[in-house]
A and B are shown apart, each in its own frame.
Chain A
Amino acid sequence: MGLEQLLPAISGMTWQHLVMIGVGLTLIYLAIAKNYEPTLLLPMGFGAILVNIPLSSAISQIDPATGEAVEGVLNIFFDAGIATEIFPLLIFVAIGAMIDFSPLFRNPSLLLFGAAAQLGIFLTMLLATMLGYDIREAASIGIIGAADGPTSIVVASRFAPNLLGPISVAAYSYMALVPIIQPPVIRLLTSRKERLIRMTGNNNKKISKKALIAFPIVITIAAGIIAPSSLALIGFLMFGNLIRECGVLNKLSLAAQNELSSLVTILLGITIASTMTAERFIRVDTLIIIALGLFAFVFDTFGGVIFAKFLNLFRKEGNKINPMVGACGISAFPMSARVIHQMGQKEDPYNYLLMPAISANVGGQIGSVVAGGIILTLVPLLA
């Protein structure tokens, strides 16, 4: 009996498998040593190893003895949780239960940055079509700019399941890299004088409990009337938030924030890895998608900062917006707000931008989901 019969995995191993195992190890290293989105990157990294060992029973294989297809557990998870969008939508319930919308009530005008900072999505989609991707693939790549993992997964799983692996890796990696990506772009677009702008607002204003309870209901109805296709995304997010704010479901709210979030995140990460097989991942497409994802994040930041500068043209001295806050209109919460606050403090230790930055960042969380909903509505109509 030869080595091939004894250890078929070794004889079936190709350099592509080894590269993917290296990718998996890198993701695990980034998660543990650098603390880059560990909740997602670690399961994805481990999953990448799991599916790239030849004949792995974790993914569907053809049994060499019988010639019959044997379904792997990760493919079953994929069909049940990702293809049906159940996992990302459950994550939205958990995220909704974690979000406190009261900063938006304190500075509602900053909600608009949640729109401006989605610019990267659409520019990237445009660029992707110029590079030869069809409109569905381009929209899925562009949505990396939502800086929102579950939204990227929902859109990509619907429009380009073949690209789900690289899109998820890019989305979660760049979310973790916000502190590295945003500051140089912001510095390039702003003067020191602009970065020193102090923002006073209603940062200590108290918000009525009734308003916070009514908010998710009203937003769901409004979103449903305008764009029913966006309701799955926005509705689940707002449902989670209603559980949080209603005051009578504290146990469920805590369960959504902790147990539901943890359980689905584990399954989501390792299931996405089922798409990270060598045949599907080691392609030029993957490198292009990763480059386009960076482009999306850079132009999200650009959109937010330039929009703030544009608004400042119409605002009186003393009431201007610090353009750095515009960059917080992405969904990476609270990382983006924290980065901007720290940048502000570096310029002026007495400049506290945290509250307005958080308001814009919460706006970004809504904006990214709205952007996902709009893409889910428009693309099937026009493609």
Chain B
Amino acid sequence: MTSTIQTALFIAIVGILGIFIFMIIFYLLIKGLDKWFPYKEEKPEQDFVLDEIED
């Protein structure tokens, strides 16, 4: 096995592991963002005004 092939093999192993590590981190970030910023139904502006008047 030549040194070029050895280097390519090393890059292949580190590279594929690296992409998985990146993606796992991105996965955790997405989970985190979804938790920190949950979807909230925005009230239509008119309802909001009416609520304030009722108060």
Show the binding face of B for A, using Cβ within 8 Å.
2, 4-5, 7-12, 14-16, 18-27, 29-31, 33-34, 36-40
Tell me the complex Cα distance, A382–B6, Å: 10
Range class of the A interface residue count: 35 or more
- Chain B residues contacting A371 (CB-CB under 8 Å) are 15, 19
CB distance from B30 to the nearest CB of A (A): 4
Tell me the complex Cα distance, A164–B45, Å: 55
**Which residue from chain A places its CB closest to the CB of B23 in the assembled complex?**
A115
Tell me the complex Cα distance, A370–B30, Å: 16
Evaluate contact between A222 and B34: CB separation under 8 angstroms: no
Evaluate contact between B10 and A219: CB separation under 8 angstroms: no
- Chain A residues contacting B22 (CB-CB under 8 Å) are 115, 223, 226-227, 370, 374
**Which residue from chain A places its CB closest to the CB of B4 in the assembled complex?**
A129
Interface residues of A in 183-207 (CB under 8 A from B): 205-207
The secondary structure that dominates the B interface is helix
**Assuming the A-B contacts A222-B26, A223-B22, are A215 and B33 also in contact, with contact meaning beta carbons closer than 8 angstroms in the complex?**
yes
Interface residues of A in 248-287 (CB under 8 A from B): none
- Which of A112, A130, A218 contacts B29 (CB under 8 A)? A218
18 example contacts (A-B, Cβ-Cβ < 8 A) are as follows: A111-B23, A111-B27, A112-B27, A115-B16, A115-B23, A122-B11, A126-B8, A134-B4, A135-B8, A207-B34, A207-B39, A208-B40, A214-B37, A219-B26, A222-B26, A226-B25, A366-B26, A370-B23
Q: A37-45, A102-110, A150-158, A335-343: which one contacts chain B?
A: A102-110
Interface residues of A in 26-63 (CB under 8 A from B): none
Evaluate contact between A122 and B12: CB separation under 8 angstroms: yes
- Chain A residues contacting B39 (CB-CB under 8 Å) are 205-208
Tell me the complex Cα distance, A374–B5, Å: 18
Q: Mark A109-144, 1 if CB is under 8 A from B, else 0.
A: 101101110110111011011100011001100000
Tell me the complex Cα distance, A122–B20, Å: 13
Interface residues of A in 215-248 (CB under 8 A from B): 215, 218-219, 222-223, 226-227
User: Which of B2, B15, B22, B23 has the most chain A CB within a 10 Å cutoff?
Assistant: B22
Please tell me if A211 contacts chain B, counting CB pairs below 8 Å.
yes
- Chain B residues contacting A206 (CB-CB under 8 Å) are 39
- Which of A125, A218, A370 contacts B8 (CB under 8 A)? A125
- Chain B residues contacting A105 (CB-CB under 8 Å) are 30, 33-34
**Assuming the A-B contacts A112-B23, A115-B22, A367-B23, are A379 and B29 also in contact, with contact meaning beta carbons closer than 8 angstroms in the complex?**
no
**Which residue from chain A places its CB closest to the CB of B5 in the assembled complex?**
A129
Evaluate contact between B27 and A138: CB separation under 8 angstroms: no
**Assuming the A-B contacts A206-B39, A371-B15, are A112 and B9 also in contact, with contact meaning beta carbons closer than 8 angstroms in the complex?**
no
Q: Which 5 A-B pairs have the closest CB atoms?
A: A122-B12, A210-B37, A211-B37, A129-B8, A115-B19
Tell me the complex Cα distance, A128–B39, Å: 48
Tell me the complex Cα distance, A305–B33, Å: 28
CB distance from A279 to the nearest CB of B (A): 26
- Which of A118, A211, A370, A375 contacts B33 (CB under 8 A)? A211
Evaluate contact between A122 and B16: CB separation under 8 angstroms: yes
- Known contacts A115-B22, A214-B36, A378-B15, then 19 further A-B pairs from the complex at CB < 8 Å, ordered by chain A residue: A108-B30, A112-B27, A125-B11, A129-B4, A129-B7, A134-B4, A135-B4, A135-B11, A206-B39, A208-B40, A214-B37, A218-B29, A222-B25, A223-B22, A363-B23, A374-B18, A375-B15, A378-B14, A383-B7
- Chain B residues contacting A123 (CB-CB under 8 Å) are 12
**Which residue from chain B places its CB closest to the CB of A371 in the assembled complex?**
B19
Evaluate contact between B30 and A111: CB separation under 8 angstroms: yes
- Chain A residues contacting B37 (CB-CB under 8 Å) are 208, 210-211, 214
Tell me the complex Cα distance, A378–B23, Å: 18
- Chain B residues contacting A135 (CB-CB under 8 Å) are 4, 7-8, 11
- Chain A residues contacting B19 (CB-CB under 8 Å) are 114-115, 118, 367, 370-371, 374
Tell me the complex Cα distance, A112–B22, Å: 9
